[in-house]
Structure 1
């Protein structure tokens, strides 16, 4: 995807969560370990819900913010949505799946922090700030939920 505006950033994020949800769901049906199968299903549902929330940003965000051009994007290399399925989640352990998903979310958070630090227009700073808060909150929630499931 060619990212040239903040609308593209929102769409990229939505597509990333959509792709990851589909990949995790597919791998859940193929995993042999019951706990990992549950984790993949849970993560798939979580990513699908995130996709819906991020899609709401496209509808509710200030058009001025969405249509603002990104000039510094080329110097940052965010994750590509297709990278998320290069690891065979169906063959990974519970802990490996968790680590992969946590790392992915940390990369998204890092990308938003990068953009937030280079955004000069208040509307775009607010948009990226909201997306950053969402991703940070959801990453914390994932860590908390997966740690709780380890205890079971």
Structure 2
């Protein structure tokens, strides 16, 4: 996806969370280990909720901010995902699944951090800061929840 505006960036983020939710849910049915299936189902529901929340940003964000160009995105390293989802999570261990999902969230956080402070209008800066806060908060929540699951 060619991202030119903050609106397109939000849509791309929404699609990323939706794709991950679909992939994790698909892989949960394929995994042999019960604990990993539980983790994949939990992560899939979490990512579906993230998709819903990010979609809310598209609807509620300042229209001026959504139309603002994101020039610096093109310089950022593209986020690496299992975009085709040929059941890669179905073959990973509990810990490897966590690492993969956390890495994806860290890449997203890194992208928003790189854009924070570069936004040229206050509305766009506020939007990036809100998206960054959401991603950081949800990454911490995921770490807590998966830590509890690994104790089981």
C-alpha deviation, 1:84, in angstroms: 7.3
Cα distance 1:84–1:44, how it changes in 2: closer, same or farther (>3 A)? Answer: farther
Output the TM-score relative to the length of structure 1: 0.95
Partner of 2:64: 64
CA distance in 1, matches of 2:98, 2:70: 32
1:16 equivalenced with 2:16 (yes/no): yes
1:28-107 maps to which residues of 2 (within 5 A)? 28-79=28-79, 82-83=82-83, 85=85, 88-107=88-107
- Going from structure 1 to structure 2, the CA distance change for 1:106 and 1:86 (only over 3 Å counts) comes to farther
What's the counterpart of residue 110 of structure 1?
Answer: 110
Which structure 1 residue ranges, 4+ long, deviate > 4 Å from structure 2? none
Give distance in 2, aligned partners of 1:8 and 1:129.
16
Q: Structure 2: state its 5+ residue gaps.
A: none
Unaligned runs of 5+ in 1: none
- Two-structure CA RMSD over aligned residues (Å): 1.4
How many residue pairs were aligned?
152
